[in-house]
Amino acid sequence: MNETYLIPTYARQPVTFDRGEGVWLYDTDHNAYLDAISGIGVCNLGHCHPAVTATLARQAETLVHTSNLYRIDTQEKLSQRLCALTGMDKVFFCNSGAEANEAALKLARLYGHSKQVACPTVVVLDNAFHGRTLFTLSATANPKAREGFDPMVSGFIRVPWNDLDAIRALGDNPDIVAVLVEPIQGEGGVHVPAADYLPGLRQLCDQFGWLLMLDEVQTGNGRTGDYFFYLGADVRPDVLTTAKGLGNGFPIGACLVSGTATDLMGPGSHGTTYGGNPLGCAVALTVLDEMTKVLPAVNDRGARLVAGLGAALADLGERVVNLRAKGLMVGIELDRDCGAIVQLARERGLLVNVTAGRVVRLLPPLVISEQEVDTLVARLSAAIHAFYQQEAA
């Protein structure tokens, strides 16, 4: 096997997995790795969850796909379950987080035009990541991701993260129609907002007549201890996007709407070929069922992980700049670029990711046990110490 015929859009690590179970992945040489990134926050219920696998097999034997030209029973059931869970009014199903955010941005433009705004503009945040389609890339801040793809789609104003005054200062701009924000920035370095940030955003959007659009592609589906982060923040968005853990590995995304955003789209205004097909919706219904069993332990597991890391890395002093976490979404910011830790961890049977150059990001499956949390702490702290020992050599 080789990569000769693959467009090299990824700097792949030299390992191939052929089996997964719970929090563990096994390579082709039968080595076991604790997966602390879960496919970048996708396999929240762990690899090959028995109930999800059973649903996949059962539904695959019955009906995999029909187009959205016809009613789909599982899609209607899933939309009802998601609306009851979130307090939102309606759902558009799609295939991915980028596609869900694309729908959100198109909704913002429809909303603007409904108010006779000629150039609808969306406020986005520094360090944000919303996807790699051209529209969502234009909303994304990462210059490396945008490099070579100019011109970007117009209609965005970027402001600093976690700064309500910067958004309040835009209140006189008649072109602004919405604010798009990740409740916790994942790709940007696991930045957790101040407690009053989302309520403040809600208040400003109400004051200025803007849509509040939350990108919970990474923070949703139990990752932060609530099913969605905003449910613990006492706010309700006008538009909500989700994907990743919704299918636990099967690609499905959703854009949910409420209030003034509910009836902006009608027949023919948007669409998708695969989104919300019978197989994807059956899987997501099972994920919702199983999540109720897992969710109560997420905050305890996250607290154990943070406490363990804090103790194991205490001797590094100021070399650990910050340890940010909510539920089982954890970022360890170091004092220098630290991409080498990925390999050092993998050599110790641990899969992690480094984002924003110097932040070790952890998104382990939510089914992780206390013992596995301790194993994660031991292997990661050993890798980080080895990194600094190499730096000193």
Torsion sign, CA atoms 72, 77, 78, 79: positive
Q: Was 76 annotated as part of a binding site? A: no
Between CA 330 and CA 230 the distance in angstroms is 18
Q: Was 98 annotated as part of a binding site? A: yes
Backbone φ, ψ for residue 127 (5° rounding): 70, 5
DSSP string for residues in 221-233? TTTTSSSSGGGGT
* Cβ–Cβ under 8 Å, residues 341 and 349: no
Q: Which of 135, 156, 229, 244 is catalytic?
A: 244
Which of 162, 314, 178 is closest to 257 using CA atoms? 178
* Cβ–Cβ under 8 Å, residues 352 and 339: no
Which of 203, 247, 240 is closest to 101 using CA atoms? 240
Q: Was 129 annotated as part of a binding site? A: yes
Q: Was 97 annotated as part of a binding site? A: yes
Q: Was 219 annotated as part of a binding site? A: no
Q: Was 216 annotated as part of a binding site? A: yes
Q: Was 320 annotated as part of a binding site? A: no
Between CA 112 and CA 120 the distance in angstroms is 5
* Cβ–Cβ under 8 Å, residues 261 and 180: no
Q: How far is CA 299 from the centre of its chain?
A: 18
- 93 in catalytic set: no
Q: Which of 129, 156, 229, 250 is catalytic?
A: 129
Q: Which of 215, 226, 250, 387 is catalytic?
A: 215
Kindly give, in sequence order, each residue whose CB lies less than 8 Å from that of residue 299, ignoring residues fewer than 6 positions away.
225, 327
**DSSP single-letter state for residue 23:** T
Between CA 323 and CA 319 the distance in angstroms is 11
- 149 in catalytic set: no
- 144 in catalytic set: no
**266 token code pair:** 């009608």
Q: Was 163 annotated as part of a binding site? A: no
**254 token code pair:** 């959703």
Query: What are all long-range contacts of 89-92, with beta carbons under 8 Å and residues at least 24 apart?
Result: 89/256, 89/257, 89/258, 89/259, 89/262, 90/256, 90/257, 90/258, 90/262, 91/254, 91/255, 91/256, 91/257, 92/254, 92/255, 92/256, 92/257, 92/265, 92/270, 92/272, 92/275
Binding-site positions: 97-98, 129, 132, 215-218, 272-273
Q: Which residues are catalytic?
A: 129, 215, 244
Binding-site positions for N(2)-acetyl-L-ornithine: 132, 272
Binding-site positions for pyridoxal 5'-phosphate: 97-98, 129, 215-218, 273
